[in-house]
Every structure is written in structure tokens, then in C-alpha cells.
Amino acid sequence: MARFDTPDDVLECLWGYSASAALGAALELGLPWLLADAPLEGSAVAAALGIPLGRCGWWLQVLVRLGLLERRIDGYILTPGARRAIVESYAPDSWAFLAQEDRERLPVVVDLARRLVLPPGHSRLPEPLPDYVARMAVDPERARRFTRMLYDLHGPLAECLAAALDLAGVRRLLDLGGGSGVMSLALLRKNPALSVVVADIPAVCAEGRRIAREKGLEDRISFWEGDLLSGELPRGFGAVLECDVGVYDAGLLAAVRPALDEGGRFFVADLLPESEDDYPDRVLHWGFTGSLSGGDGARPTWLDLEEQLRAAGFEVAEVRPLIEGFRLLEARRGPGVPQ
């Protein structure tokens, strides 16, 4: 996070929006991969990407100042740190999709000082951010790109989760909102006797099936197409998993309980805060921008979720750390009927 010790610190943060936009454009246009292996002069970059030469020069200088690029005698090249962080981590289209998503959120923070004080529903508020699930339902290409991006993004978390979960004795697991299959596939590799049903919207499930075939595990994973908030889920599972979905609607929690066999376990992996004043950076970004488009951006704390689970008829066993700020909550289906 930024430090504010001098006036220049304040000015640097004020100007940060242009650096952020320059980085996002680099990811969307594929610049890191263009300059990953050999330097190019600014004129060659401009020609390759179809950018006017003068404008391209300013853009490249911003990216040098940001630390993405290095200017050498023979041209611009990606810095070693940027190569590790970008080129050697996720696929180009995963980065492009992440940058696109933030570009689409940018309008809600424009003219922020005036918009902060306006009441909800005021005509000068920006249009609400489109619901990303609804957008994917009508745009198969967006759903495909989103699903692939999440498969890239959550690879390390999936391996950590597979190592952390003791699924001895569990034969069937339901993965809520896990359409890319990244968590399920890691669990299948770790647990040879396990089979998984992934629940998600049809457009996301379609790409999840393709990924499962690519990984050679399509015979142990199936996909249930539906709305998680419809009130009905498939049944007969020894465990249910919800990882980085962030949906804790009372109706969903109530539907999870009958989906589990007696004594079955419900696992939640997420970035929930300890308190309302301690949001992780990613949650803070999405919650703040979401609040500016008509919602309140609210997300439960871990204690809130525990209370919701007990009300839905679960016995909370423990919450323990994973990686990247994620934590894992384990709850068991309690006996009887929830109050």
C-alpha cells in the first residue's frame, strides 16, 4: 500500500490511475509477451500494436517508470520481475481478461468526490455494474475466458486446498460454483476414490468439461447446470465445497444441508475478513467499487458466517489458514432440523 510521508507521496498516489490504466492496456494488448524475449524500439512496438508513435512513446515511458519495462540502447524489454510475475504465471488471455474486468469497473470511480455523497439511486450515480453471472449466461465467449482465467488464477490455491482437506471416507463431493474445475481436479488427483459434481451455470460448465477432458479426469467429474440460489441442489454427498464464490445466502446454506449425507462436511475457502475494518485488499477493491454502483458491497466476516451456518443446522469445527490470505472453514451437518 502507498505511504504518505511527503507531498510527493500524495501526488504519486493521485496520479496512480494513469499508471494503472497503462498497465491494464499493456496486459490487454499483449505487450509483456511482445517484449519478453528480445528488445524492440518504440517504433516497432507502435507498428506491432497499431498505436500512433508519439502516444506509444509516452505509454512506454510510463511503463518504464512503473517497473514493467526496461529501456536499453537497443529498445524496450520486459524486466525480469515482470517476466516472473506476468509471463511465467498466467496465460496471456487470463491477464487480458483480468485487465478488462477492471477497465469495465473504472467508470464507477470517476468523479468520485461528488458521487460518494449522493444517496443510492440518485440520477448522477453511474449505471450499476452488470452482474457478472448474468453476463456470462448470455455471452459464452466471456464465460469461456472467465473460466480459463479462474483456472489459471486458482492453481496454487487448489493445490494447497487439496493438501489441507482430509477426505478419507468421502466418495462424492459437490463443488459449488466451481465451474473451472480447478479445485475439484486437484482434489481428484489427491484422492483416487473420489468423484465430484461441479455446480455452476451452463456456459461455465461447458468450459469446465473441456478442461476436465484436457486433464484426463472427465470420467470422475460431472457438472450440474443450475442456479445456486434456486433452493435446490443435488443430494447424496459426503462433502460440499464452496471456494472463493462469496455467496452465503440463507437459502443456499439451507440447501447445502440436505445435499449432505448425515454427518457430512461443508468446507468454505474464502477471503472473508476477521472484522468489518479488516478487509483483504482484493475484497476491499471489489466491495468499494461495488458499493458505488448501487449495492452496499457488504460481505460477512468469519464470525458472521459461523453464525449463519449454525442457524442453518451446521456445527462449525474450525477455521484455519491456507495461502494468499485465504482461510478454510470446516462445518458438519448437525443432527435434527435447523431452527
Residue 154 backbone zone (phi > 0: left; psi -120 to 50: alpha; other: beta): alpha
pLDDT at 294: 62
What is the percent of the chain with per-residue pLDDT over 90, rounded to a whole number?
74
For the chain, list the domains and their CATH numbers: 7-89 (1.10.10.10), 140-279+296-333 (3.40.50.150)
Asked whether residue 339 carries a pLDDT value surpassing 50, the answer given is no
Contact between 70 and 77 under an 8 Å Cβ cutoff? The reply is: yes
Q: How far is Cα of residue 151 from the mean position of the Cα atoms in its chain?
A: 10
Q: Among 174, 182, 289, which Cα is nearest to 234's?
A: 174
Asked whether residue 208 carries a pLDDT value surpassing 80, the answer given is yes
Asked whether residue 23 carries a pLDDT value surpassing 90, the answer given is yes
pLDDT at 115: 78
Question: Chain-wide mean pLDDT for the chain?
Answer: 91
Kind plus residue range of the DSSP H or E element containing 315: strand 314-321
Contacts 24+ apart (CB under 8 A), 223-231: 223/179, 223/197, 223/198, 223/199, 224/174, 224/197, 224/198, 224/199, 224/200, 225/200, 225/201, 226/199, 226/201, 227/201, 228/176, 228/177, 228/199, 228/200, 228/252, 231/255
pLDDT in tens, 137-187: 889 999 999 999 999 999 999 999 999 999 999 999 999 999 999 999 999
Q: Among 217, 215, 220, which Cα is nearest to 193's?
A: 220
With cut-offs at 50, 70 and 90, classify the pLDDT of residue 128: low
What would the grid cell of residue 292 be? 458505488
Kind plus residue range of the DSSP H or E element containing 339: none
pLDDT in tens, 257-289: 999 999 999 999 999 988 877 888 888 888 888
Q: Among 102, 197, 205, which Cα is nearest to 147's?
A: 205
Instruction: Name the residue with higher pLDDT: 201 or 334.
Output: 201
pLDDT at 135: 86
pLDDT at 121: 63
> Of 132-141, 207-216, 233-242, which gets the smallest average pLDDT?
132-141
Read off φ and ψ for residue 269, nearest 5 degrees: -115, 125
